[in-house]
A and B are shown apart, each in its own frame.
Chain A
């Protein structure tokens, strides 16, 4: 079942074309990656899909609803984490999660926060203010926040950029489990090609605001005569 359907999206910022005629679908339980060089249009695309940026053209439907007209219903089933956003520094970890549990309208916020604190092994940090955490620890809290509403679509913009290899590996495992057990779909951007190979069912390469190649990691490697996704990335990026 398709849960995200974006058709012919376009966005310009003055003379710069950030996204051009981009169409994309994500099915339930599917993990899809958007890859590309910095400035390729990945984040603009994600932000359009989250309602942060209004597209100049095209349509976005999620769960059968138009995003612009059913913003609250759609966003209650979606969540987001990115390496470039933060959470209120003065608040304790539990307070941050509790506040967002309420912003997502959860029935039993405290119980859900306790579950996620356990899942992300945040117990030793739970009573510490966000500003006292390392960037890796803050990323774990961000990801816990992103799972509060058990989202049917999780949008992750470079989710493991600030994590050490061990923490990154554990988070990837956890996100993979989430997709398998809950049927949650994920839309991910990352510069970590091994992460993408390991996690993603389908990969879209973007360049100049367009999707220039799409397929599974194996399909793309075959199509470009490359040994792995890293090599595909370099070939796509260098034309």
Chain B
């Protein structure tokens, strides 16, 4: 009987289980036109809104601001979607009362998270590609403006987004379904502090000090440096990478603790009741 299964600890089995999560989420997305629509709807609304603001500012001859705003909108979407998509994928298991089935399968927590991350990466890349095309078509803004910073900027924001998503999942595991508001809104706490649409220098001094603890602040400052024609600010990227590693480590530990708490208090059994 056991011959129908791969050895459970083999890499082939791990890959199969991770791809099981990815394929399942892709199938669910394909079957939900509303979710497909939603991937592009909000980013497009933001792009149009800021695009028109930009077009107005352009007529007022405000230098650089045009590109900064559109660049900020595009990179903000990377952060926001990375955070929300990973939380949504987990919440969908709760909403569909399927979490127990997943939790009693041999899928490990790490494999589950890797599956969620891989799928969210696909959605982020899709959304940002479409938005980049729109930004170019409507406003003549090309992501080439990020120069060689494009990949590191996006990568650093993705990792921060996943960390924020993990905090949201941990909150739901610890406090129950009512905490899903944290999963949705945490990324918006970052938004005013990260200098997405303005330089960190405009923030009050105490807030600036706080802001530099966010990897996103270094990324958006770096983006403005590059778009102003400056070199890629490696010092900022290294700070952002270091902070990302620390936050990802901390949020993984938080997730592991929250899962242990949920198992100890019987919370997994009660989700979706």
Contact = CB atoms under 8 A, between A and B. Distances in A.
A104 to B, nearest CB: 6
Interface in B123-181: none
B106 A88 contact: no
Given A76-B8, A107-B6, A53 B16 contact: no
Contacts of A75: 104-106
B5 A149 contact: yes
A18 to B, nearest CB: 8
A152 interface: yes
Most B CB contacts (10 A, CB to CB) among A53, A92, A98 go to A53
A153 B268 CA distance: 21
Nearest to A105: B13
A156 B18 CA distance: 26
Given A75-B105, A80-B101, A98-B23, A88 B92 contact: yes
B96 A89 contact: yes
B100 A52 contact: yes
A99 interface: yes
Given A43-B269, A102-B23, A91 B5 contact: no
A52 B5 contact: no
Contact of B20 (A71, A78, A102, A184): A102
A69 interface: no
Contact of A44 (B93, B104, B107, B266): B266
Given A76-B5, A82-B100, A106-B4, A100 B105 contact: yes
B97 A85 contact: yes
A86 B5 contact: no
Contacts of B107: 103
A53 B266 contact: yes
Contacts of B13: 76, 105
Contacts of B252: none
Contacts of B27: 90-92, 95, 99
Interface size class, chain B: 35 or more
A13 to B, nearest CB: 6
Interface string B63-105: 0000000000000000000000000000011001110111111
B98 A87 contact: yes
A73 B104 contact: no
Contact of A88 (B16, B28, B100, B264): B28
Given A91-B28, A103-B21, A129-B31, A50 B104 contact: yes
Contacts of A13: 265-266
A172 interface: no
B8 A145 contact: no
B21 A51 contact: no
A72 B13 CA distance: 11
B58 interface: no
Interface in A1-59: 11, 13, 18, 43-44, 47, 50-54
A85 B98 contact: yes
A47 B106 contact: no
B2 interface: yes
Interface string A59-81: 00000000000011101111110
Interface in A76-129: 76-80, 82, 84-92, 95-96, 98-109, 112, 129
B268 A53 contact: yes
B205 interface: no
A85 B106 CA distance: 17
Contacts of B273: 84
Contacts of A104: 5, 17, 105-106
A150 interface: yes
28 contacts: A47-B269, A51-B104, A52-B103, A54-B260, A73-B9, A73-B106, A75-B104, A76-B8, A76-B13, A86-B97, A87-B98, A88-B98, A91-B31, A92-B31, A96-B24, A99-B21, A100-B105, A102-B19, A105-B6, A105-B13, A106-B4, A106-B6, A107-B4, A107-B5, A109-B16, A149-B4, A150-B2, A150-B4
Given A50-B103, A51-B104, A95-B24, 6 more contacts: A52-B100, A75-B106, A86-B97, A102-B16, A103-B21, A105-B14
Interface of A: 11, 13, 18, 43-44, 47, 50-54, 71-73, 75-80, 82, 84-92, 95-96, 98-109, 112, 129, 145, 149-150, 152, 155, 182, 184
Interface of B: 1-6, 8-9, 12-14, 16-17, 19-21, 23-24, 27-28, 31-32, 92-93, 96-98, 100-108, 260, 263-266, 268-269, 272-273
